[in-house]
Amino acid sequence: MLKLGDYRNQIRKWEYCYCRDCDRVIYSSDLEATESGIRCSKCGGYNLEAPGWVLCPAERGSAVKCPRAGKGIIRGDYEVECKYHCIFREPER
């Protein structure tokens, strides 16, 4: 079983992740380490997806740490695109 320190290290390593409950990218400053795991401080949920390195079509094929680990990448008839269009890179309003 992981300890609080392990969860804190995981938060620092992730930098950000995707909260399925909030349906948005959550940055490390909005993540909390608890005895039960890593929690979103916005909604209190534990339903988080870890980021992953992918070749991002929106970044011209560069490797980026994607909050959804590439789950938004769609292969069409003529090109590869991401349905999220790097929304997580834009500041919140």
Q: Phi/psi at 37 (nearest 5 deg)?
A: 140, -155
Q: Where are the domains of the chain?
A: 4-89
Per-residue pLDDT of the chain (93 residues; tens, 9 = 90+): 679 889 999 999 999 999 999 998 999 999 999 999 999 999 999 999 999 999 988 887 788 899 999 998 998 888 888 887 776 665 554
Q: Beta-carbon neighbour count of residue 28 at 10 Å? A: 15
Q: Strands 24-27, 16-19: parallel, antiparallel or unpaired by DSSP?
A: antiparallel
Distance CA 45, CA 56 (A): 28
**pTM of the entire structure?**
0.81
Q: Which helix (H) or strand (E) holds 10?
A: helix 4-14
